């Protein structure tokens, strides 16, 4: 899915309203700047039963759902940012706000100097939004036909269009497929076509919402490799949401973690494990059988002679290592951080448990 403007002025032209928006929301040096973004929905609360349903026709009750609450962050030009969070955390809502698809309840944002929800035509020519579960290509037509439509919508000169398309189909290895109806393509092939359509007008900012969802390992790696190469060569600013941590680790150095609509972390990806993980993994290779008393040191994860893995509290690492080396013949030992994916899953699980406990206490 990408946002188009058929009657947009020439690329780079900034209407007065957009310029005014830039003055209000940021200093213009960052590609993206959000300050206090908030989005609240009023959701009709329907009660069970016929009488309650009839009463609801005359007197409705609503719940407030805070999809995004006071979110502030900044993305520099040419940066690739991971925007992480569990389902329902507010990731997609934030991207929709930055793409101008919805208006905030409060707060400000600037993308390339424009206020997104003012929907300036020039702004819509300078970004793309790709959503892994949404299609922008015509289902029964070859992708080539949709590409030509995008060329007309965005007013891309024919020579530039041909050059970009030629480059993109080679990078994504789909030259033989662009004349095939989209409905006949695999999920991975369709996603590659979606990326081509999103990049034909050379956007300066690319919002990617779960671009590898449902893809097989080969397709995931193809998309990862393409995005890394394309972003490095073009300097495109990218905001990526994904539940697949291999995407994040392969592409991003910095992450923003959002949960329950609020930001819990904004910093280097490498700091997430250090900040949120209380344990490390000790890997051991014994000179003989694996001891049966490993549980005294921590949580045994795997033991196939002569190797074993134990999860140990960070503070206990020195004592545990000293005791193991004193009691057993060990040929090799290493201490590693827990995988990022596990740390993130635990972090989200802790928040879900806290939310459930709070809801139970309030009931």
pLDDT attached to residue 53: 66
Residue 352 located in a structural domain: no
Does one domain contain both 198 and 320? no
Per this entry, what is the length of the chain?
A: 363
pLDDT attached to residue 22: 37
The mean pLDDT value of the chain amounts to 85
Residue 217 located in a structural domain: yes
Residue 187 located in a structural domain: yes
Does one domain contain both 221 and 330? no
Does one domain contain both 133 and 90? yes
Three-state SS at 23 = helix
Q: What share of the chain is helix, strand, coil (3-state, %, to 5)?
A: 40, 25, 35
Does one domain contain both 319 and 283? yes
Mean pLDDT on 325-333: 92
Does one domain contain both 268 and 291? no
Mean pLDDT on 103-119: 96
Highest mean pLDDT among 72-81, 260-269, 347-356: 72-81
Comparing CA positions, the residue from 194, 218, 190, 217 lying closest to residue 206 is 194
Q: Which residue has the tokens 């700047």?
A: 33
Q: How far apart are CA 214 and CA 190, in angstroms?
A: 12
Residue 350 located in a structural domain: no
pLDDT digits (tens, 9 = 90+) for 65-102: 889 999 999 999 999 999 998 888 899 999 999 999 99
- The better pLDDT of the pair 20, 43 is held by 43
Does one domain contain both 149 and 268? yes
> Could you give the number of structural domains in the chain?
2
- The better pLDDT of the pair 358, 184 is held by 184
- The better pLDDT of the pair 117, 132 is held by 117
pLDDT attached to residue 179: 93
Q: Which domain CATH number covers 220?
A: 3.40.50.300
Residue 23 located in a structural domain: yes
Does one domain contain both 26 and 92? yes
Q: How far apart are CA 242 and CA 194, in angstroms?
A: 17
pLDDT attached to residue 270: 85
Segments forming the whole domain that contains residue 286: 278-337
Does one domain contain both 256 and 300? no
Buried b (16+ CB within 10 A) or exposed e, 239-264: bbbbbbbebbbebbebbbbbbbbebb
Does one domain contain both 257 and 149? yes
Q: How far apart are CA 327 and CA 140, in angstroms?
A: 69
In the predicted model, is pLDDT for residue 206 greater than 50? yes
Q: Phi-psi category of 28—alpha, beta or left, where left has phi over 0 and alpha has psi -120 to 50? A: left
Does one domain contain both 135 and 210? yes
CB atoms inside a 10 Å sphere around CB 104 = 21
Residue 2 located in a structural domain: no
pLDDT attached to residue 55: 66
Of the three residues 251, 272, 293, the one that is the final residue of a domain is 272
In the predicted model, is pLDDT for residue 351 greater than 60? no
Q: Which residue has the tokens 């502030």?
A: 72
Does one domain contain both 139 and 174? yes
Does one domain contain both 163 and 84? yes
């Amino acid at each position: 899915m990408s946002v188009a403007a058929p009657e947009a002025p020439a690329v780079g032209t900034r209407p007065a309203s957009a310029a005014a928006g830039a003055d209000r929301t940021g200093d213009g040096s960052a590609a993206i700047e959000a300050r206090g973004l908030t989005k609240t929905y009023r959701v009709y609360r329907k009660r069970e039963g016929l009488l309650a349903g009839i009463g609801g026709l005359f007197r409705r009750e609503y719940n407030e759902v805070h999809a995004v609450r006071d979110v502030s962050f900044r993305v520099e030009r040419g940066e690739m940012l991971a925007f992480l969070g569990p389902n329902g955390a507010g990731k997609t809502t934030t991207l929709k706000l930055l793409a101008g698809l919805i208006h905030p309840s409060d707060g400000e944002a600037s993308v390339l100097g424009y206020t997104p929800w003012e929907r300036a035509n020039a702004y819509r020519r300078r970004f793309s939004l790709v959503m892994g579960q949404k299609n922008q290509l015509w289902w029964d037509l070859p992708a080539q036909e949709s590409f030509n439509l995008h060329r007309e919508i965005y007013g891309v000169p024919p020579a530039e269009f041909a050059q970009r398309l030629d480059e993109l189909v080679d990078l994504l290895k789909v030259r033989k497929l662009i004349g095939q109806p989209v409905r006949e393509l695999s999920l991975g092939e369709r996603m590659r076509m979606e990326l081509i359509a999103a990049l034909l007008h050379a956007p300066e900012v690319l919002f990617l919402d779960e671009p590898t969802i449902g893809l097989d390992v080969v397709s995931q790696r193809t998309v990862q490799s393409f995005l890394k190469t394309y972003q490095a060569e073009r300097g495109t600013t990218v905001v990526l949401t994904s539940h697949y941590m291999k995407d994040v680790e392969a592409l991003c150095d910095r992450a923003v973690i959002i949960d329950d609509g609020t930001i819990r972390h904004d910093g280097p990806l490498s700091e997430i494990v250090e900040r949120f993980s209380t344990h490390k993994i000790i890997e051991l290779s014994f000179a003989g059988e694996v001891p049966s008393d490993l549980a005294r040191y921590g949580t045994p994860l795997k033991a196939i002679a002569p190797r074993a893995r134990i999860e140990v509290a960070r503070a206990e690492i020195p004592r545990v290592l000293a005791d193991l080396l004193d009691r057993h013949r060990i040929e090799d030992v290493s201490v590693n951080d827990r995988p990022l994916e596990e740390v993130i899953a635990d972090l989200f699980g802790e928040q879900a448990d806290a939310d459930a406990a709070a809801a139970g206490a309030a009931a």
